[in-house]
Every structure is written in structure tokens, then in C-alpha cells.
Structure 1
């Protein structure tokens, strides 16, 4: 133990030297100001990557290799979150993503991968407290690791942590899958699918640094609260380049790119939002856009010097047909049209005996006559105005939707009143997704190198298309659970979702081993699966501790008093506490906690999050609509029946209940006055 602690101290000293050496680099040595700015940016990023948190273990494992191993030759490697080398360049800590670290996660008695001994370290607040050894080439290897178990069950306080020390073999296979392979992870609650997706992003950034630093990596989450919860994972792994956003942020960036002076400020009723999210709307928008291209009614006449050159209407029609046959985007084809028309004029000049060059063609393409003619045949399009016209003009919608949408569906899409300008319209999120679709039809959306889409089961087909456009030439990691689909437009199968995403060949992995949700809790929640997701394999908990489950029924006038007692008991224990309530009961619950003097934070309340707090808030009040993806050591769930009734239909409500039941890591208390949904059975 003393020797291992000495190595830890020496490794921290080496990391400090690496940071000091980086800080000493002189950016003034650059040849020009552009190079200097680039060098300063690189130094800054390197300094952030080398930051050391003394409360976080610098390494968590050790591998001793067989002297006969081809790569390691009997060497010893310490596995950690980042690479640390001594003054001579020898590795003191090896990054967990390096190829030599693979055996830490995959080696077994049956396949030792050249490892003689695997050691795991236990830490408390950054101090080494224990270690465990597995001798893979001799004797019997214990399947159970107390250090691994204690790390998995460590109380959750604050944002989500990385799982780099506890990645399981089936998770590691996903994490280390190739960049060119898109992966879909169907993961039951507590299986670590979100962490797997984030660790895959970190692995790809490490393995393909040059490529992805240029192309970019994006994480798309369900809401801002979820992004704050996972926001520290990638930086803790030394990755600060990946961007994070929501669907609202994704399409909002398109509005910004279009210099739009409007934003999402409206909301659709579920049937309307579901229809706007239908993939058939893509065909409607495509028709509406390309209907703007008009056949010529007269030829093009271009004066040049003392002569006039003319293209006949049939010649122009041939140019238009050729451009449309190329399948390029509307804006790109419009840009080509002027040059194609100018080329036609150039050919006529050559036929008459002239010898014009490319400069003449460019001059003709830029001439007032050609520009005016192009605007008549192929007018410029503002994506928002096109969507505005479709949703406000019955005739325009009928022309574009004929044979695609029924008359009833068209009536459902139309706004109650037409808006004259995009700035006056009350755009909804579904409307913004439609604008994003049109914007891509006009000008191609730039593709990133890799996109991680979490809680993807809740995205509509049109939203999936929006995400897919961001990785059209890259790959994606799709994360979700069909049993937790809680939107009316949610996906019912991953095959359909991947098709809308543009990745039909993505590999689908299923994770069913729960590492976070205790057995008694997951088995109780799994009673809902035959109704909400009959095709899914029920999850199982691999934890030895069964957890605690308490289902309590009280009279209505006792509800708040009993709630305060349950919350008080949970807060007195170690770890985080989440009080999950139906959205409709949120004001009543918050008022009761305030009157009782119980310190709390309200998830999703930005003003409350920003307010100064004089004590460590351990209790989060969580509206049921924001519970997805979060975890708490202790959960108090209020009124399941009201939670189910608050959704659009009974099955969707049961899915929401399934989400809320599976947020607990240690204990779950269900408090209710109304009858529980019959699908749960008796407590």
C-alpha cells in the first residue's frame, strides 16, 4: 500500500510538471498573429486538459503483463483518466482509452489477454484506501469485487460522474466501437447507457483526435436540466471540445444561421405536434419548395455590345430539367442556373464566330438581365416564410399535401389565424423543426464527425431527421429505452427511428444488466413492461443489495404531513434525494416544503437554480416531466395515479411512471392517496 501511495504522489508531481512545462511555452515565438492566436488557444486547451483535481483518483487500476506478451513484455501499467509521463517520457499513468488498457476491462480467466495480475484501487476523497488483486493466470478469480461494487453504489451527490473505473465488458465493446460504425443502445434503467454514450464520445475523441477536432462532436440531450446533470462527465475525462445541446438548441442554431429575429415561443397540442413530427411532412415541404421553380414563359435576352443574344424557352427548360435531375439542393441549383444560362449564351457566341472566354461567361452570369431572369424562374426562398405560408394558407398547403395528407390532417395543421411575417408568428418547437428541414433543402446542413443522441426514443421522425442531418457524413451513437418513450410522437421501434435518422445500418445493442437500480425497485417497475413495451427483455439487477422499497397509502388530509416525514427521513441519510411529483402538484408540494422549512431546489426552475443558497441542498423537487435520465440515492414518488392521468393516454402515462420508478439508486418510497394503476398490482 505504501508503494502504491508513493506512485500516486509521484504521478501527481509528474502531472504538475507537465502543466508547468505547458504554461512556460512562449506564444510570441509564432511567425504571425494568426499563428500566435492559434498557439495560445492550443496552450489554453492543453492547460485545461492537464488540470488536476486532488479529490479524483489519478489512476484506478494496474495491469501486470506476462513477460511473454508481444506488446507489453512483462511491463506494469497504471490505468487512469489521462496519460501522465515522467521527465524521461516514460508512462506513469496510461489513459484508459489506450489499446494497452483494453485488458483492464476485458481480461478474464478464460481470456487473460496476457495479464498476470489485475489490481483495482479503492479511494476516498482522492486518498488511496484499499486494493484488490485478480491473478488471471493462476488459481480461481473471484467474480465479485467489493471495490467495484462500492464504486457503483457510492452515493450520488451533484452532477453525473464518469464510470471509467467501473466499465463492464459489454459496455466496453460499445465504447470502443469504430468511428465509422453507428451504434444504437437500447438500455434499461440503470444499465449506464448515457455513460456509455459519453465514454464512447471520449474514446473517439482520443482515437481520432485530428479528424474529430476538425469535424466536431455533439451531444444532444432531452432538456437543459439533463445537460447540466451530465455536463461534467466529458471534462472529467479530459475532453472539452465536445458540444452539448438540446433539440431546441439544435434547430435554434438554424434560426440564428438564417439571421432570424424570432424564436420558439409557442406550443402545439399533442395531436398537432405529432402530425408536424410525421415523416410525411418532409415530402410536403419538398413539394412546397420545388414548386417555386417556374417554367419559362419567355426566352432570355442578353445584350452584349452591339448585339443581342437569346435563349429560347425550350432551351431554358432543358437547363432547368438538367439541374433538377442532378439532385442538388435548391440553393446550390439556383446558384448554378446563372452560370448554365450564361454558358448557353456563350455557346451561341461561339457558333456565330466569336471567341469569348470564361471572363465573358462570368460577366454574362452577373448581368442584370440574367439575375432578373433567374429570380423569375428560381426565386430565392426564406425557409421560415415558406413554412409560414404552408401553415397559414389552405390553398398552398392543399397543393403541397395532395395525396400525402388527408383533408382532416391539413385542417389540423393550419393555424387559427394567418401571420403576416415570421417575426409575428408564435413558432412552436415542431414548427422550428420544419424550418430546419426546409433550410437543409435550400442549403446543406454541415455534418459533424459524430453525434450522441440521448433519450432518442422521444424524438419524432422529423426531429430524428434534424439530428441525422448533423451526422450525414459522420456516425452516431443513439441512446434510449423504448419502455421510457413518453411523447405522443415517440418511436415504437429502433429500426424505424434509425431509418428516419438516416442510419438504417446502425448496429443495435441491448443492455439489460442494471448496475444502479436495486433489484427490488427494478422488479417492481418491471411489472409495467408487459403493457408499455411487451417486446423488450425485462431488466435485471446485478447488485447484491436488494435496495429498499416502501409503498404507503394515506388519506388525502395526511398526504403533506406524511410527505414531509418521508422526505425528512431520506434527507437524514447519506446521498442525494429526489422528490418526484406530478407536474400538476408541483406548486402544492413546493409550498408545503417551504412552510415546513425544508431546504430544497426545484429542478427546471432557473430562477431558483440561480438564487444564492446558504446551505448544501440535498433535496431536489423534480417534476415528473423532467425526471428522465436523472438518478438519486433516495427517491420519494408522489401520487402515481395522478402522474399517469397527466399524460395524453394511459400507456404513455405508464411509461412516465416507469421512468420515475427507476430513478432510485438505494431506496424508493411511493406515497399515494388514490388507487395505484392496476398494472402495478399489489405492493
Structure 2
């Protein structure tokens, strides 16, 4: 792990030694807590299933108490005015640590009292006289800074805070728990019942804010969310690999992390963007609903059930009335089951009129009988989503009936397969089809819901994909993260209110982060020249870091040679060489560096296809031939904006072709 170089003045040796003693005591206490958890046995549970559940909980507890030697156990201290029952001195860290007597040595950063570490100021000290920030090198406490909150005045910039933000970032994404800013903290601590949408410019930490909010909610609503679950949805597996260490470092080891493809199915059959755009439109929800219910037909026969010498008949008009009462008022499969039970109930009524005493078991038997099943199969056929979508995309007459006025004739023609498949089992589905199949699946059976959903890069999702994600948290809430300026799909969102509406959270809170901490100002200002052409309604982002000398433009006839020189000149930290997707292997061979794959890679130098760059950060970024990146896709200028804002320390642009006019 890269080392943290600290700039603040060296504190008094006695004070530093005392803080180190507290760190040693805290680490020893954490080890004792973990050893105690390891000593507990699941044998106390009464049966095998309970033992397995208990053992799983114990394993999670042990994993959550892991001590990472290179990760500071605490990063702050609050000296308080003692106006309440809490201790006057509190250490704030990644998790709660107590000694054998129950004395708190470290307070979890998510605890209510810890809020003052992030929010207190001389104007509003929140009961804090002094805030102390600690600096570390590896796992060793090497420095601290004190901020006087009791006597007013300007605190000035924290050099420890600045050093931590600017620390080289080789490897996976780190948590930002020690550097959360007040506006970020407000989002992190938003209540579970509030859905928050964060419009975040590059480098504002929106992804980290979303992950830390998930950790905060798990801490604050542990019992509820342990049952309902929390899910993180990222744009691709490389991104998930990049963020995979953040929540475990905060003690949260049981959170589902997946992609939209992981939820909707990894369908990758190629398709024209214009066709995918039609499939992604929310109008398709109405089309699919009609298509499904068009399979329910008017009954033409009644039901005749024979039991011994007795015959019981449900007339055709009675069957029609039952079907009409159910059609469209329930999900498809429960409705089908209810139809069988209603028909069986009509038979039981006749049995009772004849003096019999049938019970529920008799009704279930009648519902499963061949005469009832035959009528149900004819009127309300058993279906899977693939059958319905197959018929919709291969039968122009059926598509026209389902589409009505929602789709134009041209759109209907575009949706139809030019070479129909033999059946739904042989059909090859596109990524856009995945959302349609999911919509149909929910019309048939209710989709299970999570307690909280975090969706990153949400601006790139289609309306139908947003509906699919909204179903996963319809009984919970969500944190939606993204940047409208970084929308790179043909259906990219232009409004967060629209995104929230399709997710099912029209009343959600939209907030904006425009102050960057990661990307140097010189780099961010250069990339922001593209904003008027791709997102003119957004305010230009600002950066706290001047970054003088962080931007270099290299015009050369030998782009590969220029990239090689830029990589050689890069300093400490990670290097991302970002190129047009089709050129990745060529540059990888020339540089002797691996190509970033879907599962990520921890190499110091990586060749990154532009299509995978979103959400990632590198200390040094080398961009090869921006004109090729722009020309590679319809929203290529937005893709270039993404690419140019991946740098944390330096950005080098190497080109032979003319740069876009704005640059």
C-alpha cells in the first residue's frame, strides 16, 4: 500500500506517545473482541438449521472485527465540554471498540455523537472544544493536528486532510471516512425513509458517499436491513472490483454488490442502438402489460366435475364472470391460481347444496382436477416471460394489438426480428431485452424488494432498467448517484426528476455536489470546456486542489511512443492509459501492460478501454487520441469528458489528430 507523507508540524513527543499508547490499547481490545467472537459456538442452538444460521452470524461478526494493519483504527478525537453524560474525550474511528470493562476506546463514525467530527465549526461547535485529526504512515500514528472550536476564528485548511485526499491510490478504492466533508455527511446521514439522488461532478466523491450511506444505514437500522438487505448496483464488474474493499473496511461484510446485467441477466446479443432505445422507453411497460393479458381469452366452455355418481357443472357464463373479475386486477400467476380456486369453490357450493360437507382439502383437490386444469390452461395459459416477448417480437399482428397507440408503425417495425427464431428457447436476447423480460416477470409474480438500494452511474440507465431497479426497493429506499454530463448511452437521462419518477420515487430529494477533492483544478477546468456541448444546464464543477502543472498536452506523429514516454515519466501511484475500446489490445502489446478486464486488475500500469473508465480513478492518466474516442460512439463527447476526469494527480493527452474544438 502506498505510504502517506504528512506535512503538519511535529506534535509534542509526550502527546504523540500518549496517542500511540491509546492506539495500541485499542488494537489490543479489538483483538480481544475478535477472539471472544471466535470462541462462541453455534452448538447452543437447538437444531441444525438454527446452528447454521447462528454460525453464519458469528462468522460475519468475526469478519467485521478484523483489524487491517495499514488502516487507521481511529482518525479523530473530540475534546468535549462535558455538558452531557458522555465522556469528555472521544476517539472516532471505523468501528466501535471497547475494553474488557465495557469502556469505549473508539466510537464508531456512524454514531450520533460522531457527527460533530464532520459538522462542528467555530460558528457551531456542537459541544466540542477541540477536534484533533490524526495522520498515519502505513498503520503507524505519526502526527496530529488540533482545531480550536471553542474560541471562534477561521480554522484554515487542514494539511492532514489535504494529504489524505491527495495520497496516491494504487489498488482498489479506499473509504473516505476520515475525510468526509459537511455536505457529504448530510447525504450520508439522511434517514432510511428518504430516497436521495446525488448529482455529482467528477471528483466530488459521490460514489464514496453512496457507499458510506449504505454503511451508515446498516449501522443505524441493523435489525431491519439485516432482514431486508442492502444492494449496491454498479455499471460493470470492473467498477465493483474497484469498490469491493470499501464496505468491508468499514466493518460491513454482508452487502450484495452487482451490476444491472447481474440482475436482469447477462444478455449480450448485439442490437442497433435505435432499437435498444425503443425497448428502453417506459412506453414498453404498457405494451408488455397488454401483451401478457392478451393471452387470457374468453371462455367458451364451462367446467364439468364428476365425483362418484354426482356431476357438478360451472356454466360457461359463470366462468366468464370469474375470469372478467380477475383479469388485470392481480399478477398473472396468482390470478391463474385464483381462477382454479374460484372454479373449485363454485363446485363446493353445489356440493353443500346437495348436503355434502366438503372442506378445504376437497376444494384443493377439485382445483387440481383435470377438468378444472383443462379450462384454466385454455383460458389462462401457463407462461414464462420469454414466451410473451418472443411472440411480441416475432408476430407483427400481435405486436400491433399490444402496442395500440403507444408505438408508431415505424417503431413497431424496428422492434420486429428480421430473422425470427424458431421458439423462445432458441432466441438470443439483447441487453435491452433483459429489462423487458424482468418487467414481464414482475407482471407474473411480484419481485422481492430490498431495504435499500444504491445505484451508481444511474444516468446511463434506460427507463425500463430504472423500473426494474425500482422494483427491487419498492418497500425500501434508494441512493441514486450519477452525473448527467457523463451520460454515454443513447438513452441517457437529461433530468434526475425523470430518473426518480421511473424508479418509483418521484418525491425523492435531489442534491448536487460540485466541489471536487480528487481531480486537480487544472484538469477539471480543461475537461469542463466540454460541458456546454453535453450538459449546458449543469454548473461547472470546482476543485479545491489547484494542481498547477497537472495537465500536459502532447501532439506527436507517434502516439504509441508518446504514450510510452508519458507512462515512463509518471510518478508514484497508479497509471491508467485510456484508449478507444478497439485499440486496447494494440496499446497493451506495445506497452507490455495488461488490459483492464471486467473483474478489475491491481497492476500499477493498466490499459483501460474508454467504455470501462467510468467510476474509476488513477493517480496518473494518459489519454490516447481523444478524436478516436469521440468518434467511436454516438455520445463520444460525453465519453471523452468521463475519460479526462479520471486523473487524481496528472493528466497527459497524447494525440496526432486535431483535438475537439472545445479543447
TM-score normalised to the size of structure 2?
Answer: 0.95
Match of 2:310 among 307, 311, 320: 307
Q: Which residue of 1 aligns with 2:511?
A: 509
Is 1:295 matched up with 2:288? no
How far does residue 354 in structure 1 lie from its aligned partner after superposition? 4.6
**Counterpart selection for 1:210 from 223, 234, 241:** 223
- 2-side partners of 1:62 and 1:559: how far apart? 51
Q: Which of 585, 588, 607 is equivalent to 1:587?
A: 585
Match of 2:401, SS state, is helix
Aligned residue among 207, 211, 226 for 1:194 = 207
3-state secondary structure, aligned to 2:662: helix
Give 2:283's match in structure 1, choosing from 256, 280, 286. Answer: 280
Q: Single out whichever of 50-59 and 337-346 deviates more from structure 2.
A: 337-346
Q: Give the aligned length.
A: 648
- Deviation of 1:537 after TM superposition, in Å, equals 1.2
Q: Deviations over 1:53-72 (max 9, x none)?
A: 1111000000111122x353
For 1:71 and 1:276, the matched residues in 2 are separated by 59
Match of 2:361 in 1: 359
Distance 1:358 1:629 in 2: 57
Instruction: Tell me the equivalent position of 1:255.
Output: none
- Residue 73 of structure 2 is matched in structure 1 by 58
Matched, 1:226 2:239: yes
8 Å contact 1:518–1:547 — kept in the other structure? no
Q: Which residue of 1 aligns with 2:594?
A: 601
Which of 368, 376, 379 lines up with 1:374 in the alignment?
376
Q: C-alpha separation between the residues in 1 aligned to 2:548 and 2:155?
A: 21
Offset of 1:124 from its aligned partner?
A: 0.7
Report what 1:264 is aligned to: 267
Question: Could you tell which deviates more after superposition, 639-648 or 138-147?
Answer: 138-147
Q: Determine whether 1:401 maps to 2:384.
A: no
Quote the Cα distance in structure 2 between the aligned partners of 1:559 and 1:432: 39
| From 63, 73, 81, the counterpart of 1:48 | 63
Cross-structure match for 1:80: 93
- Structure 2 residue aligned with 1:144, among 127, 146, 157? 157
Counterparts in 2 of 1:548-627, with a 5 A limit?
A: 548-555=550-557, 558-570=558-570, 573-594=571-592, 600-604=593-597, 617-627=603-613
Aligned to 2:327, the other structure's residue is in SS state helix
| 1:437-480 per-position Cα deviation (integer Å, ceiling 9, x unaligned) | 11111011100111101000000011111111111111111000
How far apart, in 1, do the equivalents of 2:627 and 2:249 lie? 40
Aligned counterparts of 1:94 and 1:601: Cα–Cα separation in 2: 42
CA-based RMSD of the aligned residues comes to 1.6
Contact 1:62 1:78 in 2 (8 A): yes
User: Which stretch shifts more, 169-178 or 538-547?
Assistant: 538-547
* CA 1:265–1:629: 2 relative to 1, 3 Å: closer
Asked whether the 8 Å contact 2:520–2:648 carries over to 1, the reply is yes
CA deviations on 1:57-98 (whole Å, 9 max, x unpaired) are 000000111122x353x5211000011100001110111001
Match of 1:629 among 615, 636, 644: 615
Question: Residue 219 of structure 1: CA displacement?
Answer: 0.5
**Aligned mates of 1:363, 1:588 — CA distance in 2:** 67
Contact 2:522 2:547 in 1 (8 A): no
CA distance in 2, matches of 1:97, 1:59: 13
In the TM superposition, residue 591 of structure 1 has moved relative to its aligned partner by: 2.6
The CA deviation at 1:220 is 0.6
- Give the distance between the partners of 2:429 and 2:253, measured in 1 at CA: 33
Structure 1 residue 35: Cα displacement: 2.2
Whole-angstrom CA distance in 1 between matches of 2:111 and 2:652: 43
1:143 CA displacement: 2.9
Residue 663 (structure 1) aligns with: 646
CA distance in 2, matches of 1:94, 1:187: 29
1:521 maps to 2:523: yes
Asked if structure 2 preserves the Cα contact closer than 8 Å seen for 1:456 and 1:478, the reply is yes
Question: How far off its partner does 1:349 sit?
Answer: 3.5
Question: Does 2:114 align with 1:101?
Answer: yes
Q: Unpaired runs of 5+ in structure 2?
A: 1-15
Q: Is the 2:64–2:251 Cα contact (8 Å) retained in structure 1? A: yes
**Whole-Å Cα distance in 2 between the matches of residues 272 and 3 of structure 1?**
66
Look up the SS of the partner of 1:87 in the other structure.
Answer: coil
